Every structure is written in structure tokens, then in C-alpha cells.
Structure 1
Amino acid sequence: MGKPLIMVSSITYAMKARDLLINNGIAAYIERTPKIERNGGCGYSLYVPKRIDEAENLLRTHGIKIVGRTDWEEST
């Protein structure tokens, strides 16, 4: 299993999304989206270590545009 990332459309959405998730008890961290995973997004994603399905639903409910989602496998 890789690192669960929710890709968003802008750094502004990334910051709003992180704050929304944290305020709802879900840990979230802003990270650069790996270059290979970028689909026209801004290059920022949210790393959500747990409860990612719940996090995605909460973001969509609050109008946060999600570009995509991935489980990024970091190379060693």
C-alpha cells in the first residue's frame, strides 16, 4: 500500500482542505504532488494517512475541487 494522496486544483484549495480536515479531526498534510501523478493540477496534494474515504467525501461536500487520488509508491 502506498502513501494516500488527494490531489487538488490549487494551493489555495490545498490549504482550505487541510484546515477543513484538521477541524474535523482528520490528520492532513500538504505535499508536492509527485511529477508523474500530476494531471493538470497545481502540483499540490493532501497526504491523509487515515480515513481517506471520509476525507474525500467531506472535501467534496464542502466544494473543494479534487483533481484525483492516488496511493503513491515512493522509490527507495
Structure 2
Amino acid sequence: MSECYLSLVSLTYAYKAKESLRRRGISCRIVYTPEHLHTRGCGYSVAVQGDCERAARVLRQDGIKILN
């Protein structure tokens, strides 16, 4: 199963994203944003197992801004 990273604006939003995804059965964890992806923001991402596009849609629907 593949893993992708969704960069967020703050650690607070990383925790909100984690909770939002877990409520919908999407496996994820909070990680430091990998150097090659870190352009701005707090430096935290959620690492998502599985369908990254679905995870991104869920977060956007919940009003959580994704940086990268």
C-alpha cells in the first residue's frame, strides 16, 4: 500500500486532519514534512495510507487547508 503526505498550515490542523481522516476509516499519522516537500507552513503533514485523493477531498470538505 502506498503512502502519501499532505502538508498542513499548523500542528493544530495536523491533529484536526488526523481526527477527520480516522473518523472516515482512513489510516494516517502525523509526521514532520519531508524536506523535499517542505515549502512553507509549520512543517507537519499527515502521512496517509491508501487513497491520497480521497483523503485530500475529505480534508477539503471539512475545511482543512492542504498546502502541498
* TM more than 0.5: yes
Cα RMSD of the aligned pairs, angstroms, is 1.2
Alignment of 1:12-27 (within 5 A): 12-27=12-27
Q: Structure 2: which 5+ runs fail to align?
A: none
Residue 36 of structure 1 aligns to a residue whose secondary structure is coil
Aligned pair count reads: 67
Cα displacement (A) at 1:49: 1.3
Shift of 1:36: 3.0
CA-to-partner distance for each residue in 1:3-37, whole Å, 9 max, x for gaps?
A: 41001110000000000100111001000012232
Taking the TM superposition and a 5 Å limit, the aligned residue runs for 1:27-42 are 27-42=27-42
**What SS class does the counterpart of residue 29 from structure 1 fall into?**
strand
Letter in 2 for 1:35: E
Alpha-carbon distance between aligned partners in 1 of 2:5 and 2:20, rounded to the nearest angstrom: 16
Q: Deviations over 1:55-75 (max 9, x none)?
A: 10010011101001xxxxxxx
TM-score (norm 1): 0.81
- SS of the residue 2:42 aligns to: coil
Larger radius of gyration: 1
Q: Any runs of at least 4 consecutive aligned residues in structure 1 with deviations exceeding 3 A, and if so which?
A: none
What 5-or-longer segments of structure 1 have no aligned partner? 69-76
If each structure's strand is expressed as a fraction of its own residues, which one has the higher value? 1
Identity of aligned residues (%): 37
Q: Deviations over 1:33-60 (max 9, x none)?
A: 1223211111000100112111100100
In structure 1, C-alpha distance between the alignment counterparts of 2:65 and 2:20, rounded to whole Å: 13
